[in-house]
Amino acid sequence: MHASVCSYLKSVGQTNSVPTLAEGLEDRTDAFMQAPDRFEIRVNGPYTKKLPGLHEARIYVNVLVTSTMGDERKNVFALDNILGFIHEAMDTNIPLFEMGASADSQTQIGCMSVIADVKIIHFGQLTPEDRIRQGMVTAAYLYHFER
């Protein structure tokens, strides 16, 4: 589940030309940390529960977006634009893949359904000295499976 969510959201970052990091799966490079706009994917779970005849798994995903406030030429809505396309990407079912030994051996086994409001949280400028703003998009997903 973790790998499927991270792969999906990393492709969203690539499509929109925003450097993306899957926390716990990748290292923070100097190039990533120096990017004026970037986002980090965090996945918590799965949290599982046994139900009659099947199992339920829930995961919680949050994406932290960091945007450096630039000079007057930088779009002042850069942070909001990034939060918006991530929100749109997270407000849908996410394909779940069984990952094989190689990147080419992936089999889709279902979809994780979004089960709660997808929320955007604005943290604003972190400190008066740092010209960095942050925001976050959060969502929860559910998957039912047989064992």
pLDDT tens sequence across 7-47: 999 999 999 999 999 998 899 999 999 999 999 999 999 99
Residue corresponding to tokens 């589940």 = 1
Q: Examine the pLDDT at 102 and tell me if it is beyond 70.
A: no
Please give the structure tokens belonging to residue 84: 């918006």
Residue 116: band (very low, low, confident or very high) from pLDDT cuts 50, 70, 90: confident
Q: Domain residues of the chain, as ranges?
A: 2-145
Residue 98: band (very low, low, confident or very high) from pLDDT cuts 50, 70, 90: confident
Measured from the Cβ of residue 58, the count of other Cβ atoms closer than 10 Å reads 18
Whole-prediction pTM:
0.89
Mean pLDDT over 65-80 rounds to 84
Distance CA 111, CA 90 (A): 13
Residue 12, phi then psi, degrees to nearest 5? -65, -45
| CA distances from residue 86 to 31, 104, 110, 122 in whole angstroms, order as listed | 21, 26, 21, 14
| 43: amino acid identity, one letter | V
> Could you tell me what percentage of the chain is helix, strand and coil, using 3-state DSSP and rounding each to the nearest 5?
20, 50, 30
Pick the CATH number of 2-145 from 3.40.50.670, 3.40.50.720, 3.30.2000.20, 3.50.50.60: 3.30.2000.20
Q: What percent of the chain has pLDDT over 70?
A: 93
Write out the H or E segment, with its range, that includes residue 83.
Answer: helix 78-90
Q: Examine the pLDDT at 86 and tell me if it is beyond 70.
A: yes
Closest by CA to 16, choosing from 33, 39, 32, is 39
